[in-house]
Chain A
Amino acid sequence: MRIALLADLHANREATEACLAELARQGCDHYVFLGDLVGYGADPGWVVDAVRARVAAGSVAVLGNHDQAVLAAPSQQMVPEARAAIAWTRQRLDAGQLAFLGGLPMQVEEDDRLYVHANAWAPERWGYVSSRASATRSLEATTRRLSFCGHEHRPALYYAQPGPSGHFQPVAGRAMPLPGARRWLAIPGACGQPRDGDPAACCAVYDAQAGSLTFLRVPYDHERAAARIVEAGLPQAFAARLLTGA
């Protein structure tokens, strides 16, 4: 089984389409969406429909904080611009799409793998895995050997060892065998809003037979995605972010 991993799609149709095409080309036969299907981008309806169709066919999707926010009153913790985008997004989703988001689980366990948007220790509180310490905390909170998370938009790979967990900055396109009993936590990086200075969309493939993980960078028409955000009247900053990947 070749598992496609996509996180933080953020209503970015162009990025999602490009990643799905690349992942299909890589022979993926199982898709996992690690939350935050909406928020920021101009195409929430299209992205939700695309994920919903795949989930109906056996794919997995978990809830992200942006998905949760459009279902309820936006959290006061969110920055004002993000809150405005949530309100805009909510207006563009029909009842069926909102119901699909409402039915998403916080986390899913499958064989030796955990899929969760933010972390394993308190998924509903949305704490970030952004350091060795937080990765250690998350790795200790699950019995599964492999954790796949989103939320943190930069790709990263952490692994359990005595003391604080190890950290590795993945190299796109390099298959990494994750053998033996060691426990790993992988963040594929954001598909719809990369934040590491490279505008190319992030996703990853886990080959369950070979036990190897490959991070991918997929260039897409990010200028078009940015223009659509501006046309929709959403904050300019969201568009600028797609252009620089920062």
Chain B
Amino acid sequence: MKLGPGRAIGGFTLVAPLHRGGMASLWHVSHPRHADFPLLMKLPHLGYGEDVSKLVGFEVERMLMPGLCGPHVPRFVDSGDDGDQPWLVMEHVQGGTLRALLDEAPLPVDRVAALGAWTATALEDLHRQHVVHLDIKPSNLLLPDDRQAGAGRVVLIDFGLSHHAQLPDLLAEQFHIPMGTAPYISPEQVLGVRHDPRSDLFALGVTLYHLATGQRPFGNPTSQRGLRRRLYQDPVPPRALVPDLPRWFQEIVLRCLEVDPDARHPSAAQLAFDLTHPEQVPLTERAERARRDGRIDVARRWLRSLGREAAPVEQRPAAARIAPLVMVALDTRQEDRELDAALNDLVQRIVQTAPGARLACVTVMRTARVGMDSNLDSAGRNRHVKRLVAMRHWARALRLPDHRITFHVLESSDVAEALVAFSRDNGIDHVLMGARGITGVRRLLGSVSARVVAEADCTVTVVRRSRQAAPA
């Protein structure tokens, strides 16, 4: 079919070609009823010699995209068939992909961590919509031009290899070869597993490694055998290539690149949390690694990898259920042992039932609306430190290992607003907080918990001390 400006397809008018790739042509199109944002039409190449899996991938996009929503995917507009030629129209998100940044690598670690956190946040959004992307790489991560000041965002594109847990997986049924992009593909994808969201964390780890070191952790293998090395060969630790990289960064990236998905972050939200709170990343042996494992270790893993096949497909429960981010808001100034104990008890029950759960303990220091606030109290001790000590004391009874708990002291003149903002910015799944008694001031100002319940976009549990006999 001859494509050219002015040609009408499915009610859309071709305006100008944007890109002619190996698999499809992209056109800027217009439509009288869709004028509020720029439109892009994707037209796969048909004919002999075209890769059949790419055509099925286009079908996958047509099935998946109408159900996706949110700021981290292009908006779907319409799709159809013009004779034999299928087409799909979506929002044309203006911006550049991370592909261009590879030429500037190694990039400063703060920049890489920010890009990683935005991507992980986008992945969390996608995973919550039951989709695993399965082809995360710099050229599929788009930085929109329309960024609001301060708020970075990554838009995920190209869902041609994606898996939707609630839709037929056309690719898995028809092709029994690993599908992905060689430098980024996860070990389990090499074995044919297509339903694990943590495969996207592996690919993001490869991307971050590349951006921070300028090198690919696993090269660019071109054979099945080369891909299978991913099951046993560990990468050169990033700090061996760029000694200035901080330990926390190596810890995060090497955890993403673990062969066993269970050893990676349990959810994209938890990875985003680590990337935005580097000072709280618990360092393990990964952070200290200076070189690849010795030949004997690798040989041992190679032996174990022989003949290894994918475990039977078993749908994991959603990460938000088994690995939620839980936040507890503590008021460390008030002495209410009963309430503290009730809060502690409930938090304990929640983190016990969700083995991948992580707990963020948060307290807010009220600052005056105007004027300078001294960070030192009358005794000259640092108020921050006092709050941290109090929170750690409260948390001791939970007996949570370091990698499952973090502590945050916020400063704000508006406690409720600070708590809501923290929960939103960190992708918190569940906020727990105590309800204070009704005092004169409380009645006047309205309760903090009521505002958090009303304004937070996640589950909020308000805990009360157990009922006591009313005072006579």
Interface residues of A (CB under 8 A from B): 157, 159, 161-163, 166-168, 171, 174-182, 210, 212
- Alpha-carbon gap, A178 to B79, bound state (A): 11
- Knowing A161-B173, A166-B174, A181-B81, the reply to whether A176 touches B167 (Cβ < 8 A) is yes
Tell me which residues across on chain B come within 8 A of A180, comparing CB atoms. Answer: 59, 62, 81, 86
A175–B67 contact, CB under 8 A?
Answer: yes
Report B121-170 residues with CB < 8 Å from chain A CB: 165-170
Interface residues of B (CB under 8 A from A): 59, 62-63, 66-67, 79-81, 84, 86, 165-170, 173-174
Sample of 17 A–B contacts (CB below 8 Å): A159-B168, A161-B173, A161-B174, A166-B168, A167-B173, A168-B167, A174-B167, A175-B66, A176-B63, A177-B63, A178-B63, A179-B62, A180-B59, A180-B81, A181-B86, A182-B59, A210-B66
- Alpha-carbon gap, A224 to B81, bound state (A): 48
What number of residue pairs across chains A and B have CB atoms under 8 A from each other?
50
- Knowing A157-B168, A159-B168, A176-B167, the reply to whether A166 touches B173 (Cβ < 8 A) is yes
B81, B86, B173: most-surrounded residue (chain A CB, <10 A): B173
Tell me which residues across on chain B come within 8 A of A181, comparing CB atoms. Answer: 81, 84, 86
- Knowing A161-B170, A162-B174, A174-B166, the reply to whether A179 touches B63 (Cβ < 8 A) is yes
What's the nearest-Cβ distance from chain A to residue B253, in Å? 35
Residue of A nearest to B58 (CB): A180
What's the nearest-Cβ distance from chain A to residue B177, in Å? 14
B168–A168 contact, CB under 8 A?
Answer: yes
Q: Which of A162, A174, A175, A177 contacts B62 (CB 8 A)?
A: A177
Residue of B nearest to A172 (CB): B166
- Alpha-carbon gap, A177 to B153, bound state (A): 28
A166–B170 contact, CB under 8 A?
Answer: yes
List 12 additional A-B contacts (Cβ < 8 Å) besides A163-B174, A166-B170. Answer: A161-B174, A162-B174, A166-B168, A168-B168, A174-B167, A175-B66, A178-B63, A179-B63, A179-B80, A180-B86, A181-B86, A182-B59
B166–A171 contact, CB under 8 A?
Answer: yes
- Alpha-carbon gap, A177 to B173, bound state (A): 17
B173–A176 contact, CB under 8 A?
Answer: no
- Alpha-carbon gap, A212 to B63, bound state (A): 9
- Alpha-carbon gap, A182 to B62, bound state (A): 12
- Alpha-carbon gap, A182 to B52, bound state (A): 13
What's the nearest-Cβ distance from chain B to residue A101, in Å? 35
Tell me which residues across on chain A come within 8 A of B165, comparing CB atoms. Answer: 171
A157, A174, A177: most-surrounded residue (chain B CB, <10 A): A177
- Alpha-carbon gap, A180 to B170, bound state (A): 13
